[in-house]
Chain A
């Protein structure tokens, strides 16, 4: 059967070839395609010739900025990359534990390159300019960063944090606030012992595991400043334990780490001291919160079979007091987040991605007089600057630097920063 088919086709072949040579009719010509001077062995290999046409990104010369201090950056330095010094980077994201300041992919790339670089962009410069002109004798300003997913909201937050660290501010970090409100699904430990009744107020619940982690990051970020700040009142933890006036904050932090039962109350005392003291005894304070809209919504936790609200958690009650503008000598910066919403089904249904839809009525009332900072996707100059940086670090080689490869990257990813990093990770 197979041979009969073959013979028919062969006879058709020879008929058409003879017709083509004579130039008889176009109907048979259109069936078969003419080819160039190639041999059979080339079909198994797709020959890619190294074209000398390089893309636009390989002709850029100015890639890096020499200054590593964000106080001296200006609008002339937009789209340049500056390196974070090694000591500061170890404080922001230590290798001991994962505190989610930076994403997992960014940390891996930094360990491969041997350096950590951030891009200078316009919303970052705007924020730092506001922070430079803070008045320590007036009430606290609130700044909210919003934008689409993957545009760089948490990176601008880290840029402002680096500015504050280099100018000796005290920092209260809260990275990935969704962990406080949901269980961490990446670890499969049983979470029965996570919530306990607090001793200060019996209507509220404690979170010993989460507050231990928080105290560790807080102590690691502000290593030297904690020894100089002293308390103003006496705190009684139990019958036999109490801390008197004049104890330093570093001693409080050590107490909280040793006694997980009192760790959430220690955090409440630290926040109370920050609100009470003036600029004479205390450096200026930055409250940096990532995913701030986790504080105004539902939780996924249960206690005694009933769902838990955010007002029942003692950590959140203390934190919301600091998000208000009752105190002086500092600033509050918060970034919104939409990716954490889609992970759960029991959170409130949000109408849209506008910042006021995400905050809700409760969040808006708390943060009412605030300043919005909009983070937009890359401009054309910034896209080429990032690809030129990847070429400098030898992350992109060979095919992706040509004109055709570059055009493909830009067309697929658009001007979205997160998409470019995810796409260029597996490219050659």
Chain B
């Protein structure tokens, strides 16, 4: 992964400044913190419990300092926080905060209308919490397997490869983002995002379709799975 990133940077001539306070588990190129350093957990109770046991992994690891974006409030969510940084092209945090605020309001309005019009038997199946819809939508759009091109003996093959949790998140948000760009700017961005999240929650839409196409390609090339290791 690091090798491919280096190639991209040389091609585009971008000065990539990685800050010290990055939460991602993938190691940054020129950070002053080692690969063994681990991101912090924003829950204060996490660090106030009893003394650790001898076999505990984390008692022998180092922790990075927490960035200023992390808060101890009960509304903090790790996946939402990562989603905010990827949704917009240039990452304006004030705009993303407003976007997400309005999408959750739209989701609530749509679901409440359904809830008030439904019978008592159907009311249990309707989800009213926008956070749970968000998590479920991303889970439905995350791929389990990725395909990478490998050249061996003069020929290039497409090889299936496992995926990191952060890579999964990035793929899901990117597929949702490209769906956003297809819509007309006449319609509000919050409405468009809300409809796509609800579609992914129901296993419909373009974001889930991209994941299924990837899985098909990996399934077709499953014979070459040993090329990377061998």
Taking a contact as CB atoms closer than 8 A, the residue among B56, B116, B131 that contacts A428 in the complex is: B131
A17 to chain B, nearest CB (A): 7
Question: Once the chains bind, are A36 and B46 in contact (CB under 8 Å)?
Answer: yes
B43 to chain A, nearest CB (A): 7
Question: Once the chains bind, are A428 and B34 in contact (CB under 8 Å)?
Answer: no
Taking a contact as CB atoms closer than 8 A, the residue among A33, A38, A114 that contacts B56 in the complex is: A38
Q: Is B192 close to A, CB under 8 A?
A: no
Most B CB atoms within 10 A — which of A13, A32, A43, A427? Answer: A43
Q: Is A238 close to B, CB under 8 A?
A: no
- B59-77 interface (Cβ within 8 A of A): 59-63, 73-77
Question: Once the chains bind, are B105 and A425 in contact (CB under 8 Å)?
Answer: yes
Question: Once the chains bind, are A43 and B39 in contact (CB under 8 Å)?
Answer: yes
Chain B residues near A6: list those with CB within 8 A.
34-36
Q: Is B206 close to A, CB under 8 A?
A: no
Q: State the CA gap A427–B34 with chains docked (Å).
A: 37
Interface stretch, picked from B47-55, B85-93, B142-150, B170-178, is B47-55
Question: Once the chains bind, are A394 and B34 in contact (CB under 8 Å)?
Answer: no
Q: Beyond A5-B34, A35-B52, A426-B102, is A394–B73 a contact (Cβ under 8 Å)?
A: no
Q: State the CA gap A111–B116 with chains docked (Å).
A: 11
With CB as the reference atom, state the residue of chain B lying closest to A48: B74
Question: Once the chains bind, are B75 and A112 in contact (CB under 8 Å)?
Answer: no
Q: Beyond A40-B58, A108-B109, is A428–B47 a contact (Cβ under 8 Å)?
A: no
Q: Is A380 close to B, CB under 8 A?
A: no
Chain A residues near B104: list those with CB within 8 A.
425-428
What total of chain B residues lie within 8 Å of the partner, measured CB to CB?
A: 46
Chain B residues near A112: list those with CB within 8 A.
108-109, 112-113, 116
Main secondary structure of the interface of A (DSSP, over half): loop
Chain B residues near A42: list those with CB within 8 A.
41
With CB as the reference atom, state the residue of chain B lying closest to A426: B101
- A55-71 interface (Cβ within 8 A of B): none
Q: Is B115 close to A, CB under 8 A?
A: yes
Question: Once the chains bind, are B101 and A425 in contact (CB under 8 Å)?
Answer: yes
Q: Is B100 close to A, CB under 8 A?
A: yes
Chain A residues near B25: list those with CB within 8 A.
43-44
Q: Beyond A32-B62, A34-B51, A114-B116, is A402–B74 a contact (Cβ under 8 Å)?
A: yes
Chain B residues near A108: list those with CB within 8 A.
109
Q: Is A418 close to B, CB under 8 A?
A: no
Contact with B along A39-57 (1 / 0, CB 8 A): 1101111111000000000
Q: Is B128 close to A, CB under 8 A?
A: yes
Question: Once the chains bind, are B74 and A37 in contact (CB under 8 Å)?
Answer: no
Taking a contact as CB atoms closer than 8 A, the residue among A38, A39, A405 that contacts B75 in the complex is: A405
Contact with A along B174-197 (1 / 0, CB 8 A): 000000000000000000000000
Q: Is A126 close to B, CB under 8 A?
A: no
Q: Is A399 close to B, CB under 8 A?
A: yes
With CB as the reference atom, state the residue of chain B lying closest to A403: B74
A32 to chain B, nearest CB (A): 6
Taking a contact as CB atoms closer than 8 A, the residue among A9, A39, A428 that contacts B130 in the complex is: A428
Q: State the CA gap A87–B131 with chains docked (Å).
A: 36
Between A and B, 19 residue pairs with Cβ closer than 8 Å are A13-B62, A33-B47, A33-B62, A34-B59, A36-B49, A36-B58, A37-B56, A38-B56, A43-B38, A45-B78, A46-B77, A47-B43, A111-B109, A112-B108, A112-B109, A114-B116, A400-B75, A426-B101, A428-B129
Given contacts A46-B77, A398-B131, 14 further A-B contacts (CB under 8 A): A6-B35, A9-B36, A34-B59, A37-B49, A40-B58, A43-B25, A44-B165, A46-B42, A46-B76, A111-B109, A399-B75, A402-B74, A405-B74, A425-B105
